[in-house]
Structure 1
Amino acid sequence: MNPIQANKLLLSKWTAVQVVAKQKHFLVSKVYLPVPQEGQVARHTVIEFVELEAVYTKTKRKIAWKELADTTQWKQGWL
């Protein structure tokens, strides 16, 4: 698998290794950026969390974006 690029996560496709309640295929529907504190200047864009939307049920869940790199839980693309 290619390394995950944070700037290309939005609308990327993912397959869960363990299917739960017919939820297997997901899209990254939202990317959460950290809120800069007062007086801080953001040097570069860092993603904290992503929102995954199940294709079948449209349910959403928020996870740390680095969890997608765990190949025991997620596969990139729809398999």
Structure 2
Amino acid sequence: MPNPISKKLLLSKWTACKPKNKEKHFLVSKIHDPNAEESNTIPAGFVELEAVMSKRCYLLPIEELKNQDQWQIGWKH
């Protein structure tokens, strides 16, 4: 059964508090899918963040999104 918390994360918006490479705004583009083939999924406990401006993707542990010194939910100025 899929984790409802993970489902809520998909396509959620995040703002980096300390932007790097001028990347500040991100979308959660992928979450771990336990029903997918191993080669097509990301590791459990991780999300894939996509930078809105550059379209670069990063793997990030879900726990890091809880750190309010690094991430804020939503797009902030």
Residues 6 and 31 of structure 2 are in contact (CA less than 8 Å); yes or no, is this contact kept in structure 1?
Answer: no
Counterpart of 2:69, as a letter, is T
2:18 maps to what in 1?
18
Instruction: Give SS of 1:11's match.
Output: coil
AA at the equivalent of 1:60: C
Mark the runs of 5 or more structure 2 residues left unpaired by the alignment: 36-43
The answer to whether the aligner puts 1:55 opposite 2:55 as a matched pair is no
Moved over 3 A (4+): none
Instruction: Name the counterpart of 1:78.
Output: 75
Distance 1:28 1:7 in 2: 10
Deviation at 1:15, TM superposition (A): 0.1
Task: Check whether the contact 1:50–1:64 (CA below 8 A) recurs between aligned residues.
Answer: yes
Q: How high is the TM-score relative to the length of structure 1?
A: 0.74
Larger radius of gyration between Structure 1 and Structure 2: 1
How far the C-alpha of 1:33 sits from its partner, in A, is 4.0
SS of 1:71 mapped into structure 2: coil
2:51 and 2:6 mapped to 1: Cα distance? 20
Q: Name structure 1 gaps, 5 residues minimum.
A: 36-46
